[in-house]
């Protein structure tokens, strides 16, 4: 702790000395205690420069600063690990190709786009230079092809979070290959990747990515029970799974998830109209097996168990089955304050109520873990 305070004090002294130097006759300032002469902004200590830029909160300033002088460029190349270019409305591809060669220590990179700009050449530049990358957001990159996934597989094997939602040109073969090289993936967003997400690709993910905790397969309408059951057996650490719009899946998928993924906290089944009461009773039964002998309060405090379930438009479900799920998972709520059991579009389920209706005094006391996947 004393060392941290000493470092902070030295940084403050450097900054103060630099400010004084702007008013001195010679235009120079001595760094108190070290004798270091500060001639101007370019002589800022590396730690101080990084601290100032981190406080700015705008990555555009970081990019501009990297062009001030070679000292600042070298400092930022070494020290910047988190960068977002989502603000870029034009020429993002050229910008990424330029910056990838500078910021080689990046661990988190967001390239989310409002309109598609990125091309394979930019992703290849990132993969060729940023080998320590852990988190990458390429959502809405409609122009990318399989070249990008193969490049990431070869150049960024340490990825733990990848968002390629809306990238509709990727193939399932490229996604399967990526999973074979990036085996540390914990969070994967494939929403809308209709060509890439097939049962074959899901089987590869299940085989290679055993640490996976969050997976979004929204509107990947070629997924069947075969793919989901393979995930249930190969990815037991799953906490969040979105299957909204996966219209081919049946109760078999939910039964497999209930049996194989004991840590599941969020499950999206919106518009999965082949889901019936059997799936709900399976979820409820597995909850009772794991929580047998515990009180309502103890179950509520448990870190495991469903805390979010979307069964909107699952019109085959009946009130007794859904009520059984709601009763089995105290973290599921139909009350407006904490609406985590979503049943919109199911008029027959309006009679389903969470435990708060029976224990109103607990409403204000319940505190749920906030899992953001």
Burial class (CB in 10 A: 0-12, 13-18, 19+), 314: buried
Helices (H) and strands (E) in the chain, counts: 14, 12
- Measured in residues, the chain has a length of 373
Q: Which helix (DSSP H) or strand (DSSP E) does residue 92 occupy?
A: helix 92-100
Residue 362's pLDDT band (cuts 50, 70, 90): very low
- Determine the pLDDT at residue 240: 98
Model pLDDT for residues 108-163, shown as the tens digit of each residue:
999 999 899 999 999 999 999 999 999 999 999 999 999 999 999 999 999 999 99
Whole-model pTM?
A: 0.83
- The answer, yes or no, to whether residue 19 has pLDDT greater than 50, is no
Residue 66's pLDDT band (cuts 50, 70, 90): confident
CA dihedral sign, ordered 10, 59, 107, 71? negative
- The answer, yes or no, to whether residue 165 has pLDDT greater than 90, is yes
Q: What is the mean pLDDT of residues 257-277?
A: 98
Q: If you average pLDDT over each of 52-56, 98-102, 130-134, 336-340, which comes out highest?
A: 130-134
**How far is residue 301's CA from residue 352's CA, in Å, rounded to a whole number?**
22
- The answer, yes or no, to whether residue 78 has pLDDT greater than 90, is no
Closest CA relative to residue 103, chosen from 56, 135, 66, 48:
66
In this structure, the dihedral spanned by the alpha carbons of residues 10, 103, 208 and 188, taken in order and rounded to 10 degrees, is: 90
| Proportion of the chain in helix, strand, coil states, percent, rounded to 5 | 45, 10, 45
- Determine the pLDDT at residue 65: 79
- The answer, yes or no, to whether residue 180 has pLDDT greater than 60, is yes
Q: Which residue is it, tokens 């501009």?
A: 64
Helices (H), 114-265: 120-129, 146-155, 172-181, 199-208, 225-234, 251-260
Model pLDDT for residues 269-307, shown as the tens digit of each residue:
999 999 999 999 999 999 876 666 555 455 455 556 999
- The answer, yes or no, to whether residue 53 has pLDDT greater than 70, is no
- The answer, yes or no, to whether residue 72 has pLDDT greater than 90, is no
Burial class (CB in 10 A: 0-12, 13-18, 19+), 71: middle
Model pLDDT for residues 186-243, shown as the tens digit of each residue:
999 999 999 999 999 999 999 999 999 999 999 999 999 999 999 999 999 999 999 9
Indicate the average pLDDT of the chain.
85
- The answer, yes or no, to whether residue 357 has pLDDT greater than 80, is no
Q: 296-303: list long-range contacts, CB under 8 Å, 24+ apart.
A: 296/330, 296/355, 296/359, 299/330, 300/330, 300/331, 300/362, 300/366, 303/369
Residue 9's pLDDT band (cuts 50, 70, 90): low
Burial class (CB in 10 A: 0-12, 13-18, 19+), 336: exposed
Q: Taking the CB of residue 56, how many other CB atoms lie within 10 A of it? A: 11
Q: What is the mean pLDDT of residues 154-173?
A: 98
Beta carbons within 8 Å of 161's beta carbon, 6+ residues apart: 134, 135, 136, 185, 186, 187, 188
- The answer, yes or no, to whether residue 259 has pLDDT greater than 80, is yes
Residue 369's pLDDT band (cuts 50, 70, 90): very low
Beta carbons within 8 Å of 151's beta carbon, 6+ residues apart: 120, 123, 124, 127, 128
Closest CA relative to residue 168, chosen from 200, 199, 146, 136:
146
Residue 363's pLDDT band (cuts 50, 70, 90): very low
**In the chain, what are the domains?**
45-80 (no CATH), 82-288+305-342 (3.80.10.10)
Q: Taking the CB of residue 293, how many other CB atoms lie within 10 A of it? A: 5
């Amino acid at each position: 702790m004393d060392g941290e305070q000493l470092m902070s004090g030295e940084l403050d002294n450097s900054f103060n000395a630099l400010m004084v130097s702007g008013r001195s006759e010679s235009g120079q300032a001595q760094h108190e205690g070290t004798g270091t002469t500060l001639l101007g902004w370019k002589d800022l200590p590396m730690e101080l420069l990084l601290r100032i830029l981190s406080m700015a909160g705008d990555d555009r300033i970081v990019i501009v600063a990297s062009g001030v002088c070679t000292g600042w460029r070298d400092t930022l190349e070494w020290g910047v690990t988190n960068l977002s270019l989502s603000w870029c409305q034009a020429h993002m591809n050229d910008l990424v190709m330029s910056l990838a060669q500078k910021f080689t220590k990046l661990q988190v990179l967001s390239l989310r786009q409002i309109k598609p700009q990125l091309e394979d050449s930019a992703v290849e530049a990132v993969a060729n230079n940023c080998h320590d990358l852990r988190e990458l957001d390429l959502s809405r990159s409609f122009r990318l092809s399989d070249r990008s996934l193969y490049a990431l597989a070869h150049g960024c094997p340490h990825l733990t979070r990848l968002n390629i939602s809306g990238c509709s040109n990727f193939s399932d073969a490229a996604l399967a290959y990526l999973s074979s090289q990036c085996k540390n993936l914990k969070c994967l967003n494939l929403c809308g990747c209709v060509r890439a997400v097939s049962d074959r690709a899901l089987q590869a993910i299940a085989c290679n990515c055993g640490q996976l905790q969050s997976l979004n397969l929204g509107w990947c309408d070629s997924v069947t029970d075969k793919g989901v059951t393979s995930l249930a057996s190969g990815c037991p650490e799953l906490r969040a799974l979105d299957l909204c719009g996966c219209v081919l899946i049946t109760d078999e998928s939910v039964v497999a998830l209930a049996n194989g993924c004991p840590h599941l906290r969020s499950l999206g089944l919106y518009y999965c109209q082949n889901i019936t009461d059997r799936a709900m009773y399976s979820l409820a039964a597995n909850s009772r097996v794991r929580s047998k002998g515990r009180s309502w309060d103890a179950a509520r405090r448990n870190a495991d168990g469903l805390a979010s379930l979307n069964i909107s438009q699952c019109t085959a479900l009946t009130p007794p089955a859904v009520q059984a799920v709601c009763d089995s998972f105290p973290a599921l709520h139909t009350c407006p304050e904490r609406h985590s059991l979503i049943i919109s579009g199911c008029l027959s389920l309006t009679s389903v109520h969470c435990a708060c209706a029976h224990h109103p005094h607990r409403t204000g006391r319940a505190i749920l873990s906030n899992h953001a996947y």
